């Protein structure tokens, strides 16, 4: 990382931490390896509070706690709080007991158009990722609306673009599970009397008979889901003892919540899914791979792990834990890592693991001479002493 020591990066990330945003510095791909090209948080920040120019620069005083950075961060280095994703889904669950539609709105929308009691409030629509949108449908919402009339008046309108992209990915994912369109950006609410039985997702009002027909056809019948079971997906994974010479790994809370939601919905209608907008990626490598296993060492989510089996060395790939952060591809000095948009959703839902062998276990892998020293500095900065 040019011009900035690892220890300085940890300190700068800590300055960003506030009540609405939790920072997990060890998950940041830019911290884990100097060759990471990820700038998603900085690119999406509507006030320029995060920048990657000659090193990481963060202005915590400028941060408006919109939560957009948490939505776009693929590795879970930034995580929205107050409320968390799990707490938002607990609110959704209460709403669907009263009505079939769930609507999200920002404070500016409520201030301008009123009706705050009809919405779940979020700091910005851009704070809503796929785990919340798909999660709402998995809990019984027949339609999920993101109220965007105020976005035109907002100085931070990029939040709408981020929300619209997440809504598009969520609907595409639901379609792969045989669920009709449910998520839409909406300028306003129709009168409650007209939408007592919801819509078909595109905004068309359904009759009582039409609503129950849609419910029977498209929605998996769900038993009562305790709020605690929703929050369980949000809770952090049990702390795992980090072995000497290794980095900590964790699947982001939003990733766990999304997997939980998909499993509540059921099995995918079509296994093949084009994840061209992110979420997951298929993993492979070309003949130029030397078997150094650095892709597994630096993977922040545990999607890749080192294996030795039957006299061969390689990596185990768990696609459900892949967040398409691209770090494995960035750090490969031989440009051998191949990521694919085509993924098998059945493997995602089933937590399947695929073992890919690279070399004979007793064959010395090719290494960049300074790689060990780089890893050592990162481990030491995170309080993980090496011997």
* Three-state secondary structure call for residue 71: helix
pLDDT value at position 386?
44
Asked whether residue 290 falls in the same domain as residue 365, the answer is yes
List of the chain residues with pLDDT < 50: 1-3, 192-227, 236-239, 369-372, 385-387
Q: What is the pLDDT of residue 360?
A: 77
Please report the pLDDT score of residue 261 as a whole number. Answer: 96
Residues 92 and 190 in one domain: yes
227, 254, 279 - which closes a domain: 227
pLDDT of residue 376: 57
Residue 92 near residue 139, CB atoms below 8 Å: yes
- Regarding whether 57 and 120 lie in a shared domain, the answer is no
Residues 277 and 349 in one domain: yes
Both 177 and 66 in one domain: the answer is no
Q: Which domain holds residue 217?
A: 85-227
Whether residues 62 and 111 share a domain: the answer is no
User: Which structure tokens are listed for 128?
Assistant: 């809503």
Task: Clarify whether residues 120 and 198 are in a common domain.
Answer: yes
- pLDDT of 62 reads 85
How many structural domains does the chain have?
3
Say if residue 324 is in the same domain as residue 221.
no
Predicted structure pTM score: 0.81
Burial of residue 117 (number of CB atoms within 10 Å: 0-12, 13-18, 19+): exposed
Q: Which residue, of 23, 51, 80, is where some domain finishes?
A: 80
Closest CA to 129 of 95, 178, 168, 75: 168
167 and 284 fall within a common domain:
no
Q: What is the pLDDT of residue 378?
A: 55
Q: What local confidence, expressed as pLDDT, does residue 239 receive?
A: 44
Of 256, 233, 250, nearest in space to 382 by CA = 250
Query: Is 97 found in the same domain as 73?
Result: no
pLDDT at residue 43 in the model: 93
Residue 204 lies in a domain: yes
What local confidence, expressed as pLDDT, does residue 366 receive? 59
């Amino acid at each position: 990382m040019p011009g900035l020591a690892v220890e300085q990066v940890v300190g700068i990330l800590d300055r960003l931490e506030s009540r609405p945003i939790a920072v997990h510095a060890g998950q940041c791909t830019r911290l884990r390896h100097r060759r990471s090209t990820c700038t998603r948080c900085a690119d999406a920040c509507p006030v320029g509070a995060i920048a990657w120019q000659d090193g990481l620069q963060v202005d915590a005083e400028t941060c408006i706690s919109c939560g957009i950075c948490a939505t776009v961060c693929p590795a879970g280095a930034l995580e929205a709080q107050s409320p968390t994703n799990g707490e938002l889904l607990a609110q959704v669950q209460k709403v669907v007991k009263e009505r079939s539609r769930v609507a999200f709105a920002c404070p500016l929308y409520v201030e301008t158009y009123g009706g705050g009691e009809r919405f779940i409030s979020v700091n910005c629509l851009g704070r809503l990722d796929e785990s919340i949108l798909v999660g709402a449908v998995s809990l019984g919402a027949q339609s999920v609306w993101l109220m965007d009339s105020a976005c035109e008046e907002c100085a931070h309108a990029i939040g709408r673009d981020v929300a619209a992209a997440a809504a598009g990915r969520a609907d595409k994912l639901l379609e792969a599970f045989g669920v009709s369109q449910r998520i839409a950006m909406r300028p306003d609410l129709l009168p409650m009397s007209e939408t007592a039985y919801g819509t078909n997702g595109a905004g068309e009002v359904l009759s009582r008979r039409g609503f129950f027909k849609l419910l029977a056809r498209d929605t998996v019948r769900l038993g009562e889901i305790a709020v605690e079971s929703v929050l369980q997906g949000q809770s952090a994974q049990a702390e795992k003892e980090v072995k000497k010479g290794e980095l900590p790994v964790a699947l982001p809370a939003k990733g766990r919540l999304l997997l939980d939601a998909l499993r509540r919905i059921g099995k995918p209608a079509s296994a093949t899914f084009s994840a061209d907008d992110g979420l997951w990626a298929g993993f492979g490598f070309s003949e130029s791979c030397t078997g150094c296993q650095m892709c597994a060492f630096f993977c922040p989510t545990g999607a890749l792990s080192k294996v030795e089996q039957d006299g061969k060395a390689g990596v185990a790939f768990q696609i459900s834990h892949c967040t398409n952060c691209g770090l494995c591809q960035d750090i490969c000095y031989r440009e051998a890592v191949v990521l694919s948009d085509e993924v098998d959703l059945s493997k995602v839902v089933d937590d399947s693991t695929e073992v890919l062998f690279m070399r004979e276990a007793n064959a010395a892998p090719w290494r960049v001479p300074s790689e060990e020293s780089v890893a050592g500095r990162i481990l030491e900065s995170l309080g993980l002493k090496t011997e």
